[in-house]
Amino acid sequence: MTYKSGRHFLQIPGPSNVPDRILRAMDRPTIDHRGPEFAELGKSVLSGIKQIFKTDNPVVIYPASGTGAWEAALVNTLCSGDRVLMYETGQFATLWHGMTKKLGLEAEFIAGDWRHGVDAGAIGRRLAEDSAHEIKAVCVVHHETSTGVTSDIASVRRAIDAAGHPALLLVDTISGLGSVDFRTDEWGVDVAITCSQKGLMMPPGLSFNAISPKALEASRRATLPRSYWGWDEMLQHNANGYFPYSPATNLLYGLKEAIAMLLEEGLDNVFARHARFSEATRRAVRAWGLEVLSLVPSEHSNVLTTVLVPEGHSADGLRQVILDNFDMSLGTGLNKLQDRAFRIGHLGDFNDLSLLGTLAGVEMGLAIAGVPHSKGGVQAAIDYLAETAPQTQSRD
Ligand code: PLP
């Protein structure tokens, strides 16, 4: 491969760009994971991450990708043959549903059109019918990365409560946490699931379960086989800052830095920054005359924008043109969106100019690939960013 000057633009919706501060934080010798220095690190990240989840309850950290944390949430709380209720928001909900079948659970999957979030009313109606309380858990994706649609988790909690149903609420906020507001305790989420490579701005390799007292109680009765994923041993060791097996020490150095960066900026500022970039992106897409997949404005993702390409044109061809010409990776359309849509990631370590560079790459790529569009998307984004620029102190 020949040398390409300048930084690669990694504008897929996770893994997101890893900031230099986090890279530097991880670039240190691995230490004894049974020694006192590690315990300090362990305690610091185990307590710091609670602030990001907005929970007072324990959070466990696995050396695994997000898929592992999905599995951990299920095997710790459920028994073979248990019924669970899921909602088809897109490809990641579909994959999680596939996992429940492999684990021997009976999953009901409410069909969705991949352009809307979870219909809390449909969840509530199904639970109200379940007078025998056979459904043991409701499993939903907060932020569907395949479509760019956010679901209202507080409304799912209200629907469960209104039905007077005792099901646990398990929520995948893998691409939401650290970019859009997520309130584990306030929304009554029993297991919140995330991983490191999205809003936490880290490489893949860490995943998380935030565990409510009700979920912990369920784990004492749950009989699905588990060993590596077991919360009990993990929590025993975590009490002193340790792990039952070799932790991903260097990723934990990175996590400590990531938590510090998010808290330094302030979570509300982080969320506002993501909201501003997503609106600027949608303005660009509309100016190009292209269609955003997400249909309901209040559900539009602040993390990524999925853009439909016109009939007869190839989204993957466009992505290839942009990669070849501008060294920028965009997200591919997944499953039924394959070649019909591309995804622009605007999350994590990202500022006005990274967004404008990204949108410029897309606009130039549309022209080279011959995808019909109007010019002016980048200008529309510039105008919006200029109107909404946060007040900054002059540096002189
Ligand atoms: N859930 C969502 C919403 C995701 O976006 C992803 C990955 O992108 C996953 C689950 C799976 O996570 P991983 O690929 O880290 O196993």
Does residue 3 fall inside a structural domain?
no
Distance CA 66, CA 55 (A): 19
Query: What confidence tens digit (pLDDT) does each residue in 227-249 have?
Result: 999 999 999 999 999 999 999 99
Query: What confidence tens digit (pLDDT) does each residue in 180-190 have?
Result: 999 999 999 99
290 lines ligand 1 (CB under 6 A): no
Verify that 270 and 211 share a domain, yes or no. Answer: no
Domain that holds residue 102: 20-263
Q: What is the pLDDT of residue 396?
A: 56
Residue 343, annotated ligand binder? Answer: yes
Res. 300: pLDDT tops 70: yes
> Is the predicted ipTM greater than 0.95, yes or no?
yes
Q: Which of 229, 263, 297 is the last residue of a domain?
A: 263
Res. 395: pLDDT tops 70: no
Sign of CA dihedral 211, 213, 216, 218: negative
Verify that 272 and 380 share a domain, yes or no. Answer: yes
Tally of domains within the chain: 2
Query: What confidence tens digit (pLDDT) does each residue in 39-65 have?
Result: 999 999 999 999 999 999 999 999 999
Distance CA 117, CA 71 (A): 22
Res. 196: pLDDT tops 70: yes
| Beta carbons of 11 and 328 less than 8 angstroms apart | yes
CA of 144 to the centre of ligand 1 (A): 9
Verify that 112 and 180 share a domain, yes or no. Answer: yes
Verify that 283 and 367 share a domain, yes or no. Answer: yes
Q: Which of 263, 290, 312 is the last residue of a domain?
A: 263
Q: Which of 263, 287, 313 is the last residue of a domain?
A: 263
175 lines ligand 1 (CB under 6 A): yes
Q: Which of 86, 96, 195 to probe ligand 1 with, by most ligand atoms within 8 A of CB?
A: 195
Verify that 100 and 179 share a domain, yes or no. Answer: yes
Verify that 203 and 293 share a domain, yes or no. Answer: no
Which helix (DSSP H) or strand (DSSP E) does residue 99 occupy? Answer: helix 91-102
Q: Is 64 exposed, middle or buried (0-12, 13-18, 19+ CB in 10 A)?
A: buried
CA of 67 to the centre of ligand 1 (A): 6
Query: What confidence tens digit (pLDDT) does each residue in 93-125 have?
Result: 999 999 999 999 999 999 999 999 999 999 999
Verify that 297 and 279 share a domain, yes or no. Answer: yes
Verify that 34 and 85 share a domain, yes or no. Answer: yes
| Angle, CA 229 vertex, CA 228 and CA 230 arms, to 5° | 95
Confidence of residue 377 (pLDDT cuts 50, 70, 90): very high
Does residue 159 fall inside a structural domain?
yes
The CATH number of the domain where 133 resides is what? 3.40.640.10
294 lines ligand 1 (CB under 6 A): no
Res. 394: pLDDT tops 70: no
Verify that 111 and 231 share a domain, yes or no. Answer: yes
Verify that 102 and 199 share a domain, yes or no. Answer: yes
Verify that 256 and 162 share a domain, yes or no. Answer: yes
Does residue 396 fall inside a structural domain?
no
CA of 69 to the centre of ligand 1 (A): 10
Give the CA radius of gyration of the chain.
21
CA of 2 to the centre of ligand 1 (A): 32
Confidence of residue 1 (pLDDT cuts 50, 70, 90): confident
Q: Where are the beta strands (DSSP E) in 46-118?
A: 59-62, 83-87, 106-110
Verify that 257 and 276 share a domain, yes or no. Answer: no
Q: Which of 65, 92, 207 to probe ligand 1 with, by most ligand atoms within 8 A of CB?
A: 92
Copy the structure tokens of residue 157: 């909690």
